[in-house]
């Protein structure tokens, strides 16, 4: 059952006098011109303004200071759902586990085609999924682009600039795509998340720093996080639609849509966000895009009958609510058609923080785990990748696992450019290597330290889905 904070009751359709907080809304209706025109008129009458119209999927983004705006629009003919995407933005939220540890002044190789990047010996993750061996066969096609939907990417980084596609990049914060040069970049160097993710996908093999999983493919940046660090639904709708219109093959989504960790379909506001994002994701998929998303860092069993969420809404005051996973979704992670990725550490075990769940996880990939020990010469169980300003740093999280899978999918698309999103999904699952549920003797007590229980078979289980992704198989099979 969902617990909701109290609200003021007003006469439907009335616009209150005085200053009220302006919120953002999604209004979902029939995707025809007549309905859209009528709904726009209704939005104005209810005291709202239209920010963006996605006519092909019947989604309108609006703003209003009328607290009854959503309930009024739900009564308009042709409107199927409407709801606020936020409460009141206040505090930032981190999408990774722990703060970055910078690796300063990386060495550069004098060779134009080095066998290994200067910092590659510290990247246990690249060898773990055989991406180093895959690169010897093919680094991936320049015709394949992975869009990093995130906090922005520093495209001036020496390991990223050669592979960056400005023509496929934008800032979607607020719900409208801004393609001005540099709009896709982080606000500050403290907004490092998207840049770290981008390096995992496609840091170039150029004799500098680190290596990406698919070092020959293109990357783009679609910024969706506000200055508060929050990722709202209207920005993600914009991002999926922009990717669909700009020939992107893969999107990486290492976040959940704020302010609710789970959006529940039995709540009218949250249900509207689910509907809007799902429509945009499906539209992008119809254009051939494969969506990849992080499973989350709360060690939740996403297949459980009930989950206690104490962190939402994270833009005002959180409340404790027992959510039913059958009607409450982690967005965009649990949308149909999205490749959901759990995290592993250097010992090949589920990372202690990673969400899991039978029939909820599709594949697993290295996300890092400081409690697991990598083989020498790697010194850290976390993931080393690019940072704004030309730096490198260690981070861990399912945010780091997802781009490993996105990179492998980019390699699959490079070899099989005509493969549909469904075909690509089956290929990455078939090529994955499943270790099966760990035994106690394998050190699974660390993975089970927060009462995580692996269930399923050696072929499909709750920790690893179909298995840990394999980059070499992606380019050879």
pLDDT for 125: 98
Same domain, 157 and 296: yes
Domain boundary among 37, 55, 84: 84
Residue 179 is part of a domain; what is its CATH number? 3.40.50.200
Residue 34: domain span: 23-84
Look at residue 12 and tell me if it is in a domain. no
Residue 154 structure tokens:
């520093």
What is the number of structural domains in the chain? 2
List beta partners, residue 328. 264
175-207 tens-digit pLDDT: 999 999 999 999 999 999 999 999 999 999 999
- Out of 58-62, 228-232, 314-318, 374-378, give the one with best mean pLDDT: 58-62
Tell me if 103 sits within 8 A of 392, measured CB to CB.
Answer: yes
Look at residue 92 and tell me if it is in a domain. no
Mean pLDDT for the chain overall? 90
pLDDT for 440: 58
For residues 427-439, average pLDDT: 95
Same domain, 111 and 72: no
Look at residue 286 and tell me if it is in a domain. yes
pLDDT for 110: 44
Entry pTM: 0.92
H or E element in which residue 319 lies? strand 319-323
pLDDT value at 347 more than 70 = yes
pLDDT for 115: 72
Same domain, 75 and 150: no
Residue 440 gets which letter from DSSP?
Answer: G
Same domain, 63 and 195: no
Name the band, by pLDDT with cuts 50, 70 and 90, for residue 10.
very low
Look at residue 322 and tell me if it is in a domain. yes
Helical pair 268-286 and 233-245, crossing angle rounded to 10 deg: 10
Prior bond to 259 cis, omega within 30? yes
140-169 tens-digit pLDDT: 999 999 999 999 999 999 999 999 999 999
Q: What's the CA gap between 176 and 274, in Å, rounded?
A: 19
Look at residue 337 and tell me if it is in a domain. yes
pLDDT for 87: 83
13-29 tens-digit pLDDT: 333 434 578 999 999 99
pLDDT for 13: 35
Question: Which of 229, 230, 247 lies closest to 168, judged by CA?
Answer: 247
112-147 tens-digit pLDDT: 445 789 999 999 999 999 999 999 999 999 999 999
List beta partners, residue 50. 62
List beta partners, residue 395. 383
Domain boundary among 58, 84, 110: 84
pLDDT value at 94 more than 90 = no
| Residue 259 DSSP SS3 | coil
Same domain, 335 and 468: yes
pLDDT value at 95 more than 70 = no
Q: Which of 38-42, 91-95, 256-260 has the lowest mean pLDDT?
A: 91-95
Same domain, 300 and 402: yes
| Length, in residues, of the chain | 477
Look at residue 11 and tell me if it is in a domain. no
| Residue 176 DSSP SS3 | coil
444-476 tens-digit pLDDT: 445 444 569 999 999 999 999 999 999 999 999
371-396 tens-digit pLDDT: 999 998 998 999 999 999 999 999 99
Same domain, 250 and 194: yes
For residues 336-348, average pLDDT: 97
Same domain, 163 and 70: no
Q: What's the CA gap between 91 and 116, in Å, rounded?
A: 41
Tell me if 117 sits within 8 A of 162, measured CB to CB.
Answer: no
Percentage of residues of the chain with pLDDT beyond 90: 85
Look at residue 216 and tell me if it is in a domain. yes
Look at residue 90 and tell me if it is in a domain. no
Name the band, by pLDDT with cuts 50, 70 and 90, for residue 439.
confident
pLDDT for 104: 55
Same domain, 58 and 190: no
Same domain, 334 and 259: yes
Same domain, 175 and 199: yes
Residue 135 structure tokens:
């690169």
| Burial of 376 from C-beta contacts in 10 A (0-12 / 13-18 / 19+) | exposed
pLDDT value at 8 more than 70 = no
Same domain, 417 and 333: yes
């Amino acid at each position: 059952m969902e617990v909701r904070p109290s609200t003021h009751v007003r006469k439907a359709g009335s616009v209150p006098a005085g200053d009220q907080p302006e919120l953002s809304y999604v209004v979902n209706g029939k995707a025809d011109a007549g309905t859209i025109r009528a709904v726009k008129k209704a939005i104005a009458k209810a005291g709202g303004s239209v920010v963006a119209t996605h006519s092909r999927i019947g989604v309108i983004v609006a703003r209003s200071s009328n607290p009854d705006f959503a309930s009024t629009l739900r009564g308009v003919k042709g409107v199927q759902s409407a709801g606020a995407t936020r409460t009141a933005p206040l505090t930032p939220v981190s999408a990774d586990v722990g703060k970055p540890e910078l690796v300063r002044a990386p060495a550069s190789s004098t060779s134009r085609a080095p066998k290994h990047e200067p910092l590659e010996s510290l990247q246990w993750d690249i060898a773990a999924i055989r991406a180093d061996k895959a690169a010897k066969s093919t680094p991936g096609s320049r015709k394949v682009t992975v869009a990093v939907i995130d906090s922005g990417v520093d495209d001036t980084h020496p390991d990223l600039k050669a592979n960056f596609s400005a023509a496929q990049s934008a800032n979607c914060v607020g719900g409208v795509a801004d393609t001005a040069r540099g709009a896709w970049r982080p606000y500050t160097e403290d907004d490092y998340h998207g840049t770290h993710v981008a390096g995992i996908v496609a840091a170039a093999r150029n004799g500098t720093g680190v290596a990406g999983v698919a070092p020959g493919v293109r990357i783009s940046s679609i910024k969706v996080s506000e200055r508060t660090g929050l990722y709202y639904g209207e920005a993600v709708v914009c991002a999926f639609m922009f990717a669909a219109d700009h020939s992107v093959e893969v999107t990486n989504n290492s976040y959940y849509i704020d302010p609710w960790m789970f959006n529940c379909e039995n709540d009218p506001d949250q249900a509207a966000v689910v509907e809007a994002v799902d429509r945009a994701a499906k539209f992008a998929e119809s254009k051939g895009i494969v969506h990849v998303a992080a499973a989350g860092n709360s060690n939740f069993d996403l297949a459980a009958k009930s989950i206690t969420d104490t962190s939402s809404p994270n833009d005002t005051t959180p409340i404790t609510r027992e959510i039913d996973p059958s009607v409450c979704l982690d967005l965009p992670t649990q949308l149909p058609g999205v490749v959901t990725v759990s995290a592993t550490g250097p010992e090949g075990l589920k990372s202690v923080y990673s969400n899991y769940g039978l029939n909820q996880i599709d594949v697993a990939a290295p996300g890092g785990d400081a409690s697991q020990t990598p083989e020498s010469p790697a010194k850290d169980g976390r993931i080393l990748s690019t940072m704004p300003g030309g730096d490198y740093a260690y981070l861990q999280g399912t945010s780091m696992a997802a781009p490993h899978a996105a990179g492998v999918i980019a390699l699959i698309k490079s070899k099989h450019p005509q493969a549909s999103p469904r075909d690509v999904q089956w290929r990455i699952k078939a090529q994955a290597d499943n270790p099966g549920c760990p035994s106690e003797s394998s050190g699974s007590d660390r993975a089970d330290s927060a009462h995580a229980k692996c269930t399923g078979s050696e072929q499909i289980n709750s920790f690893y889905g179909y298995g840990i992704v394999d980059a070499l198989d992606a380019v050879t099979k």
